[in-house]
Structure 1
């Protein structure tokens, strides 16, 4: 099993706890078990971490990232239920990381058109995302009318041990001041 990595912003602990409680209440176990907002997906992030020094330099030179987390949505392709994130700062950091790492192949959603989000549930067998959306709209209704705005001062290096595992933080890299 080869581990995979990603770089992410972590939501406030209170919101992370709410998302994790939603996971427990609905028996969800997937790669998004630890709530996070991905700023660089696994493309180009090899297990040997040959990219890590370049990524650390980008993070260290980038100012803190402001994110506004709103209500639940479904991606049009049906891949995930997520909390909407509005953050031009996160997109700028994402593009800077892409420019520094230069992955040989990118996922189609990577680039300046990235949709920042906080995954709540990923599509998989036995998971009915449209039904979960209705539940999430009730549980996270407050975020629809009163989104949470926070400023992240670090980026988490997250690691997934292999298929069937979940991403968990292994290091925190401070953003520049």
Structure 2
């Protein structure tokens, strides 16, 4: 059985619900709640020894502000909301350095210099079992509506991060653990 984890940041509850409602026009069952990926799967091993390292980083990292912004695309097949925050990049780098995944994993998951914080709204269909895919035409339609329906884009304080675990039976990532930032 393959155990997978990743670390994310959850937007405020009311905006989270707005995104879920917006996505429901295209996607029947999402495989994870809307989030900003902070640290992808690389190096987050089933033994969970990395959790203590993440906790150590969070214990010294102060809460910070994040601003959501305009929709944008990775290529022409992944639509996302932009995220602005210099502190987010710093926290990402500290966690990646503390966990120290291989260079190959850093490249595979677009970490460190390739890190682009975002909230995925939709993506084109792929063959893997864990994606709810759309057509390019649907993504273009989704982008136009996102500008209307998801504004104003909120600013919010990040005071905890969320570890997600893949639930194989449900084919869905679920909350495993929340870790608070330094007070």
Note the C-alpha offset of 1:3: 2.0
Q: Match for residue 110 of structure 2? A: 109
Task: Tell me the equivalent position of 1:13.
Answer: 13
Answer yes or no: is the 8 Å Cα contact 1:84–1:118 preserved in 2: yes
Residue among 142, 145, 149 paired with 1:138:
145
The change in CA–CA distance for 1:164 and 1:73 in structure 2 (over 3 A counts) is farther
Distance 1:44 1:151, change over 3 A: same
Q: 1:30 to 1:120 in 2, by over 3 A?
A: same
Cα deviation, residue 108, structure 1: 5.0
Deviation at 1:21, TM superposition (A): 1.1
TM-score, normalising length: structure 2: 0.84
Hey, what does 1:153 align to over in structure 2?
159
Structure 1: runs of 5+ lacking an equivalent: none
**CA-atom RMSD, angstroms?**
2.1
Q: Is the 8 A contact 1:6 1:45 kept in 2?
A: yes
| Alpha-carbon distance, 1:130 to partner | 4.4
Rate the CA distance shift 1:98–1:69 in 2: closer, same or farther, 3 A.
Answer: same
Q: Does 1:46 align with 2:53?
A: no
Distance change in 2, residues 1:171/1:56 (3 Å): same
CA–CA distance in 2 between the matches of 1:148 and 1:141? 14
CA distance in structure 2 between the partners assigned to 1:108 and 1:157 by the alignment: 16
For 1:73 and 1:98, the matched residues in 2 are separated by 25
Aligned residue in 1 for 2:82: 84
Preserved CA contact (<8 Å) 1:3 1:160: yes
Specify the alignment match of 1:173 in structure 2. Answer: 179
